[in-house]
Amino acid sequence: MNFSFETIWHNLPYLLAAARWTLIISLAGMAISVIWGICICAARISSSRLLSGIAALYISFFRGVPLLVQILVFFYILPYVGLDLPAIAAAIAAVGLCSAAYSAEILRGSLQAIPAGQTEAAHALGMPPMSLWRRILVPQAIRIGLPSLINELILLVKVSSLASVVGIGELTRVAQNITGQTYRPLEIYITAAVLYFLINLVISRAGLLAEKRLKVS
Amino acid sequence: MELDLFLRYGPALLEGFGVTVLCWIVGSLGGVVLGFILACLYRWGPAPLRWVIYAYVEVIRGTPFMIQLFLLYYGGPYMGLVLTPIQAGILSFIVYGSPYFAEIFRSGFNAIPLGQIEAARCLGIPEWRIVLRITLPQMLVPITAPLTNFFIILTKETAILATVTVPELLFQVQSMMAETFTYVEPLLALSLFYWFMVTLTARFGAWVETRVTRHLSRA
Amino acid sequence: MSEPILTVRGLSKRFGDFEALRHIDLDVNQNEVLCLIGPSGSGKSTLLRCLNFLEAYDDGEVRLEGELIGWREGGASPRRALASGALRKQRQGIGMVFQQFNLWPHMTALGNVTEALMQVKGLSRKQAEEKAQAALEKVGLSDKAGNHPANLSGGQQQRVAIARAVAMEPRLMLFDEPTSALDPELVGEVLAAMKQMAAEGMTMVVVTHEMGFAAHVADRVAFLDGGRLVGVTPPSEIFGKEPEDPRIQRFLQTYRERNVV
Ligand SMILES: Nc1ncnc2c1ncn2[C@@H]1O[C@H](COP(=O)(O)OP(=O)(O)OP(=O)(O)O)[C@@H](O)[C@H]1O
Ligand SMILES: [Mg+2]
């Protein structure tokens, strides 16, 4: 059996359409990850022992359990407790909530890199804590943490493949389906791999550009 | 409570645990060895070889583990590579982990100040001896944390092997769920179990780290 | 003064388009202490590093007791570097002490000194340790043999580095600003160890900003500027009266203004 470019050519449109879902899951997941990550980070470094402890537990748990298992938990257990999310929403939520644990730690590291003098200066000006966070700390933390956050997004593109397990028609799932019809796993999976690689290439290049832009300003 | 359920499936779960640990240990150790070889070839090899390694690292790191696993397991037979699920699982683990380990070793090599190497050269110590006696022992310090980190990532990655019917833990739990229509307890128990394993690995890594950095702290 | 042990002829070194060293001619005599001074970026370190081939020089020759350093003898063009074993052999005859000490932090002071004795000279552990103890004793550190570098002061670390180099019994010692990374109160102990070596007849090339050391210990002082060797004179000619060369004048002036001399 030789390599069939024709198979690839025939199925490319389906794979590309599926890649869109891969992108949707990872981008939506990333949005949840950053926003929720900021909240967890704030809790983690807050002076309240309780909040900080809960955040630490959250981070440890979501980083300690395989994402695949988390997706299954969301898929099977949420309906059980009466929260009947569509599969795609469950997958995005799982990806986002898990990734938030990592984003929180990235942001915490970035915050530590901001000189304490800035906070003191803001206090000296009588700036309220909310503005200090919104206007000074968070923007800088995101800037410092940008390379790591971009990395996290690339990771999400890759782990979005796990959503295939609960039947979401993203790139990996569609590749599986096509393979089931064509019996051409080599061609189809290589194509899928190339698509994943290209998506990540674009993201990492864009990330480098963004980093450069932010540095100049 | 579904305790008797866990008892009934005890042997299967135990077997799943064994397979998980087997894949994890053999796969990560294989990945470490291959990664180290890649890092050395990258550092001392000729230019064309370095490009190949660079491309390998980028491609593996840019694609999902699941796709690599499927390629190996389902695509393998078309390349004359017929593997059992466990073999495919371990081999894909080695392939998947090696570029990350190679990067860790590469940064480890770079972390040793050049001056120390030059001091050794001035004394006439051979290059391979310098690597063995000066670079490697010191590299342990900066690489322990990222190594532990990646071992942990691999612990969790074992769950994905269930998708190609490797009879590891998640696979056993899934068959248990399918046969008994209970989902909540098995999944929660499984989560706790992984969490426990990961925390244990992290603790162990931290312990190793304090040991290898002992000479750096003032007595 | 006796025979030159080290001869440098027409030495040039480029980094890309930048000429770091331009046609240097220099002799270092047996048992002599030669100090290299000059402004920052003038090429002092580069010259020193060419002498033991840590930098591969482009043109010219460096010879230690007549033996060409780093390159193969014979007129092949481009020149071919020596086999690594032969280069290692040459380097054993040239000790080097760095500004940043470059001790190996995972080994004790004793381990730092014994390492090359065992791995290069092939001594047994016992022989190596005896020899290392003697070398440490000489720099006044016999009681610190078991310490790791993290538990030594900067001055002590530098003295271990000196012992490490001296224990190999080199014919020539190179020092690249050995006291520049030290707190002022620690400079003296390192200079004392170097003075003692000089008194025992070690041939030394010392890059230094310690004009006191240059004035009192050096047999000759070489002044480097912009990659060129401006002059080589006895220290009295530079420090005793006003030097003739305006570049040396200017260089020393800045030192006097900072009260270094
Ligand atoms: N590896 C290198 N690549 C490019 N340029 C270099 C390199 N090493 C040194 N140079 C340049 O060569 C010149 C001489 O450097 P060198 O370190 O020899 O100066 P120096 O006299 O030792 O100065 P200092 O007193 O600051 O130590 C400098 O302009 C430096 O920038
Ligand atoms: Mg210098």
Contacts of C116 in chain B (CB under 8 A): 120, 123-125
pLDDT value for C261: 43
| B8 lies in some domain | no
Which ligand 1 atom is the nearest neighbour of the CA of C42? 21
How many residues belong to chain C? 261
Q: Which residues of B touch A186 (CB under 8 A)?
A: 71, 75, 78-79
Q: Name the residue with higher pLDDT: B176 or C1.
A: B176
Report the residue of B121, B122, B130, B143 to disrupt the C interface, i.e. the one with the largest count of C CBs within 10 Å. Answer: B122
In a domain, B182, yes or no: yes
Convert the pLDDT of each residue in B39-64 to its tens digit: 999 988 899 999 999 999 999 999 99
Structural domain contains residue B5: no
Q: State the Cα–Cα distance between residues B189 and A73, nearest whole angstrom.
A: 11
In chain A, which residue's Cα lies nearest the Cα of B156? A66
> DSSP states of B49-90 as a string?
HHHHHHHHHHHHHHS-HHHHHHIIIIIGGGGT----HHHHHH
* CATH number, domain A5-214: 1.10.3720.10
| pLDDT at position C109 | 94
- Among A74, A75, A38, which Cα is nearest to A55's? A38
| Token pair 């002082």: residue | C221
Distances (CA, A) of A165 to A69, A72, A100, B190, C64: 10, 8, 21, 17, 72
Write out the two tokens for A145: 């943490």
| HEC secondary structure over C110-123 | HHHHHHHHHHCCCC
Longest dimension (CA), chain B: 71
Instruction: Give the number of domains in chain B.
Output: 1
What whole-number distance in Å separates Cα of residue C189 and Cα of residue A81?
75
Over residues C49-62, mean pLDDT: 92
Contacts of B146 in chain A (CB under 8 A): none
- Average pLDDT value for chain B: 88
C115 closest CB neighbour out of B126, B133, B219 = B133
Q: Which atom of ligand 1 is nearest to the CA of C15?
A: 4
C42 C-beta closer than 6 A to ligand 1: yes
Instruction: Kindly give the distance from the C-alpha atom of residue C40 to the centroid of ligand 2, in angstroms, as a whole number.
Output: 7
What is this structure's pTM? 0.82
Q: Please give the residue that has the higher pLDDT: either B208 or C44.
A: C44
Nearest residue on chain B to C163, alpha-carbon basis? B123
For residue C47, the ligand closest to its alpha carbon is: 1
Residue B6 maps to a domain: no
Q: For A155-184, how does the pLDDT look when each residue is reduced to its tens digit (9 = 90+)?
A: 899 999 988 888 888 888 898 898 888 888
Count CB neighbours of A123 within 10 A: 11
Q: Which domain holds residue B170?
A: 13-218
How many inter-chain contacts (A to B, CB under 8 Å) are there?
Answer: 106
Tallying the residues shown for chain A, one arrives at: 217
pLDDT tens track for C12-43: 999 999 999 999 999 999 999 999 999 889 99
Asked if residues C76 and C136 have their Cβ atoms less than 8 Å apart, the reply is no
**Looking at residue B144, which CATH number applies to its domain?**
1.10.3720.10
Provide the CB-side half-sphere exposure for C260 (13 A, CA): 18
- pLDDT tens-digit readout, C177-217: 999 888 888 888 889 999 999 999 999 999 998 888 888 88
The token pair that represents B118 in the structure block: 């030059």
Is residue C208 within 6 Å of ligand 1 at its C-beta? no
Share of chain A above pLDDT 90, in %: 33
CA angle, A153 then A159 then A160, to 5°: 90
CA-CA-CA-CA torsion sign (C218, C221, C224, C229): negative
What letter does residue B135 receive in the DSSP assignment?
I
Q: Pull the structure tokens for residue C21.
A: 């060293």
Reference B143, options B109, B93, B97, B94; nearest CA is B109
Using N-to-C axis directions, what is the helix angle for C84-92 and B114-122, rounded to 10°? 80
